[in-house]
Amino acid sequence: MSDPPMEYPFYATSRRRLRLPGGRPLETLALEAVARGEVRPEEVGIHAETLRAQAAVAERAGFRQVGAMLRRAAELAGVPDERVLAVYEALRPGRVTPEELEAIARELEEVHRAPRNAALVREAAWFR
């Protein structure tokens, strides 16, 4: 049986279900743990599942576009920051060719399992 949907505020209603990007429970994130070196910088952030839960809340409230944006963010949660920034840079006008955008879209689908983001990159290629 699956868990019921999370509701806002997540920390008050679903605290035990919240995770750090590496999968550790959010409750393990404490200043003392950081000071002892038990929490690495890459562990501080938002877990893809939390972003998907936020998307569901937005969609239930009628904010489809916000939900779609949060679902794209969830796909990117596991992508290294440097790669996300490189994709962002490639999407800026005049930076790359449509063929290069297609290669990025394939990478997003095949390597990072990010089909929503791949579709967004392909859409951008149409305007080049």
pLDDT digits (tens, 9 = 90+) for 7-49: 888 877 888 888 888 888 888 888 888 888 888 887 888 899 9
At 25 the pLDDT is 87
Model pLDDT, residue 49: 92
Q: What is the residue range of 7's domain?
A: 1-78
Reference 76, options 120, 10, 17, 39; nearest CA is 120
Q: 47 and 91 in one domain?
A: no
Report the number of distinct structural domains present in the chain. Answer: 2
Q: Count how many Cα atoms sit within 13 Å of the Cα of residue 95 in the half-sphere of its side chain.
A: 12
Confidence band (pLDDT; 50, 70, 90) for 62? very high
The CATH number for 106's domain is 1.10.1510.20
Residues 6 and 46 in one domain: yes
- pTM recorded for the entire structure: 0.81
How remote is the C-alpha of 123 from its chain's centroid? 19
CA distance 22 to 31: 18
pLDDT digits (tens, 9 = 90+) for 96-127: 999 999 999 999 999 999 999 999 999 999 88
Per-residue pLDDT for 1 more than 70?
no
Instruction: Decide if pLDDT at 85 tops 70.
Output: yes
Q: Are residues 100 and 52 in the same domain?
A: no
